[in-house]
Amino acid sequence: MLNIQFPYDLHYFGFGLMMFLFMVILVPREGIRRLFGISFVWGYLGSFIFIVTFSGLLNLFKWQETPFTFIGSPVILNLAWAPAILIYLYFMPKTKHLFWLYVLTFSLVSAGLDAVFNQLGTLQYNFWGPPARFVVAVAWLLGATFHFNYLDANEHK
């Protein structure tokens, strides 16, 4: 049996590359151009603030340090959330029932990714776990949605 140990950077880079490729494949250029700013704010900056607050200040979990870590937050991982939020906003349904199913599904995926990173050894839980990540992801996605809807409504005035 092979026991290959990958550097933590490769996990972060792999996730970032995967999200970037999903974005390029699934979202047309005009969608990327239109949603880049808000996805950067809620993806990259949101992830950075989330990690600094919940990890650095509240000590609920800890990411493995790499050369690409800033204030305890893996920069490449933070960057990967920008395309994830862009995909979320681009495909967001207009109907209320589908919207809630969509938010809950994205939040479950976020909680699942949290568990995967924990299993890979890149994320250590102190007082944290996938259920907590699910709740935070719901709030985070709702914040991004409300902000997007506000900007979209003002753009069409």
Burial class (CB in 10 A: 0-12, 13-18, 19+), 145: middle
- Band of residue 156 on the pLDDT scale cut at 50, 70, 90: low
The radius of gyration computed from the CA coordinates of the chain, to the nearest angstrom, equals: 16
Is the confidence at residue 10, as pLDDT, over 90?
Answer: no
Q: At what angle do helices 96-120 and 8-26 cross, to 10 degrees?
A: 160
Decide: helix, strand or coil at residue 4: coil
- Band of residue 16 on the pLDDT scale cut at 50, 70, 90: confident
Domain boundaries, the chain: 9-149
pTM higher than the cut 0.85: yes
Query: Where do we find the tokens 């991982």?
Result: 77
Per-residue pLDDT at 6: 62
pLDDT in tens, 48-90: 999 999 999 999 999 888 777 788 888 888 999 999 999 999 9
Per-residue pLDDT at 133: 96
